Structure 1
Amino acid sequence: MKEFFITATDTDAGKTFVSCALIKALTQNFTKGFTKDICEGLTEEKAPVQKVAAFKPIAAGCELVNGQLINEDAKLLSDFANCGQSITDINPIAFAEPIAPHIAAKKQNKHITLTEVSDHYQQVKSLNADFTLVEGAGGWRLPLGHTSLLPAEMKASFTGNSKAVSQKPSYHFLSDFVKLADLTVILIVNMKLGCLNHALLTYEAIIADGVNCVAWIANSASSEQMNNLAENIAELEQILPIAKIAQFDFFASIDEEGKEITFDEKINLAAQKIDLAPLLD
């Protein structure tokens, strides 16, 4: 089983859209990334159906439906994953307010722990899917909240008096879960002003954590196209020492003829643009 964590340079970078496209590519276009000798003799109809599970451990910004908090991103993931997961299976930790999850938890006198996230992930792993895609929240360093207070340190002055140093909370981050679960990271770069700095800093943080980042995707998440988009992508191809497996322009909801383009149609178009080969090595 291959396990990937989808992170991004910032929030609203299109993680869910890209995750759905990746799931679609893995389930429907699996042979696209294989070498010729592996695929020889396989027709599209005979290509094996790959099982892909989805997991979005934490989400803030949910709607209460029949007594259950439903996150729209988790619902979309459930539409494309093919392991029979419920929305709660995919998104076990959900908050109504669209704010930082650890703050939402604190307002409810709750605390998000690494153990809780890891326990939920073990249930996903028990599905024995061929691929599991874990979608993060926000960027790489999403806080889960403080775990404990470090003991106060005492400093002796020359007069023999002691002064307490301010106590600082010890924080856990969602990236700590990625490390514990040994997930391979795919980085989504939100193509906008500042993306060169954001992409490099995020990549460096991932590598500094000892996590394998295998590929990146250039995603134009906004309808307002970035100035000098091609030049910025070319720079990123030089700066980031990993494979670019896709480049997505903004997918409008109306085509040039005024016809509505559904989310499924957008995902189908995006999935065809993904080079799966670097993910299958």
Structure 2
Amino acid sequence: MAKRTFFIAGTDTDAGKTVVSAGLLAAANKKGWSSMGLKPIAAGCERTDEGLRNSDALILQEAASIKLHYDQVNPVTFEPPIAPHIAAIHEKRMLSADRIAALCKGALMQPADFAVVEGAGGWRVPLNQRETVAHIPKQLNIPVIMVVGMKLGCINHALLTAEAIARDGLQVAGWVANRVDPQMDCYDENVDTINSMLRAPLLGEIPFLEEPTAENAAQYINLDQLSM
């Protein structure tokens, strides 16, 4: 497994996990680290001549310095943009944390200095009746970087997510404030409140980006703040 491997968890759907994941990879590349990005489960894929492809997974594949085959980056794909366990039921497929974690471990055997495994939706998105997305980083036993989508309600979402991560026995190695609502009132006060109440370093504040590229996000991220 990579020397520094982190699971990227969002406080909600559309918190900006992919923008932050790609930014983290670009920031690692700037440090001269070899980097790898995985998105093991993706719902909301397009049919192509090469099979189902997810735009978020393609962004991670492009941002990483180690160019894995798409099926290694994103082994579990669903076409409709719905909750993965519902998509699996519709297709009469079974999702299991064991299998998904094993697929991740296979890809992570590639030597790398830095790797991110991006989740799907929030921390408690179901995989099946017994397991959630949270069981994947638990199986991998890796720390978590939490992406907080900065909008009304983000303080509650951030604290509840951090509480759940800690209850599951994993470390929040850092968090990123990602401004998803450019019109958000009292943005600075919200960041300060979350930062004062979390036992994890703030890795960066990403403003609302008209062009949310990996390079644009990377300039707002400080990997030296990571708890490792």
Residue 51 of structure 2, aligned match among 62, 68, 91: 68
* Cα contact 2:63–2:214 (8 A) shared by 1: no
In 2, distance between residues paired with 1:280 and 1:272?
19
Deviation at 1:115, TM superposition (A): 2.1
* 1:16 match: 18
Q: Secondary structure at the match of 1:115?
A: helix
C-alpha deviations, 1:141-173, integer Å up to 9, x for none? 121012xxxxxxxxxxxxxxxxxxxxxxxx111
Instruction: Please say if 1:270 is aligned against 2:217.
Output: yes
* 2:82 match: 99
C-alpha deviations, 1:211-270, integer Å up to 9, x for none? 011111110123x421111111111111112110100110114xxxxxxxxx5xx43232
* Cα contact 1:53–1:124 (8 A) shared by 2: no
* Cα contact 2:148–2:177 (8 A) shared by 1: yes
In 1, distance between residues paired with 2:16 and 2:64?
17
* 1:6 match: 8
* 2:41 match: 58
Instruction: State the AA in 2 paired with 1:244.
Output: L
In 1, distance between residues paired with 2:105 and 2:193?
39
Instruction: Please say if 1:195 is aligned against 2:154.
Output: yes
Alignment of 1:1-281 (within 5 A): 1-28=3-30, 30=31, 49-146=32-129, 171-222=130-181, 224-253=182-211, 263=212, 266-279=213-226, 281=228
* Cα contact 1:245–1:274 (8 A) shared by 2: yes
* Cα contact 1:214–1:242 (8 A) shared by 2: yes
Instruction: State the AA in 2 paired with 1:251.
Output: L
Structure 1 runs of 4+ aligned residues shifted over 6 Å read: none
C-alpha deviations, 1:117-147, integer Å up to 9, x for none? 022112112102111100001001121012x
In 1, distance between residues paired with 2:192 and 2:214?
25
- TM-score with structure 1 setting the length: 0.78
Q: Secondary structure at the match of 1:135?
A: strand
Higher gyration radius (CA): 1
In 2, distance between residues paired with 1:78 and 1:237?
31
In 2, distance between residues paired with 1:135 and 1:183?
12
